[in-house]
Amino acid sequence: MATEPNTLTLQQQIEDFQSKQHRPTPMKEVFAKGTQDLIESGIANQSVKQGDKAPDFALPNVNGETVQLPQLLAKGPVVLVFYRGGWCPYCNLALRSYQAILPEIQSAGATLVAVSPQTPDNSLSASEKMELSFPVLSDSSNKVAREYGLVFTVSSEVQAIQQGMGLDLSKVNGSDAWELPIPGSYVIARDGTIALAFIDPDYTHRLEPAAILTALDQLK
């Protein structure tokens, strides 16, 4: 039986999710401090912006096939989304929201791809669980995310909490470096110029699907 489309904005979905979370206050304070430290670091100001040339990439998808940005741009605009991993509920809400507008993205002649530091096997698991039908790519050691200026090291306090919750990024990402990308989403024009850039050190903030469609419409 077909499910009813979600009429809530992505932000409303995030707020609904947050209202149902009941984490201990000390845990909330550690995550809040980690976010505030990232904001104060100025990382968002050091990342690739609207009007910049998008750094090229060649990354494996869940089947081990290489996906290259120049090849995608040869077909049309590209919507590029960096996410932390399938273990992140905020990432999952965002990816599902983008999946919902995939037909409209494709009608605009564009391609949607998502990138995380997860291994291809872990990306495959996440992709299947969320029933994603767009390419999910593995950025080993955050090499490409680093070129976009999005990479940070997870604080030791947050690491301890995540490990206590059963999350071991060394296994998920296949790397001992506890590094992640901050949320970064881009609409890239066919000439490689970034037409829309969303960068936010707060992992609870994500680009609205409507903004993606507006940017693609403006490229026509």
pLDDT digits (tens, 9 = 90+) for 156-168: 999 999 999 999 9
CB within 8 Å of 207: residues ≥ 6 apart:
10, 81, 94, 183, 185, 198
What CA–CA distance (Å, rounded) separates 29 from 92?
23
- Give the residues of the chain that fall short of pLDDT 70: 1-6
DSSP of 112-179: EEEEESS-HHHHHHHHHHHT--S-EEE-GGGHHHHHTT-EEEPPHHHHHHHHHTT--HHHHHSSSS-E
DSSP letter for 88, please: -
Q: Give per-residue pLDDT as tens, 48-81.
A: 999 999 999 999 999 899 999 999 999 999 999 9
CA distances in angstroms from 183 to 113, 149, 220, listed in the order given = 14, 11, 26
What token pair was written down for 33?
């401090």
What CA–CA distance (Å, rounded) separates 98 from 134?
10
What pLDDT score was predicted for residue 124?
Answer: 83
Q: Which domains does the chain have, with CATH numbers?
A: 25-219 (3.40.30.10)
What CA–CA distance (Å, rounded) separates 184 from 198?
6
Instruction: Name the residue type at position 141.
Output: S
In contact, 86 and 123? CB cutoff 8 Å = yes
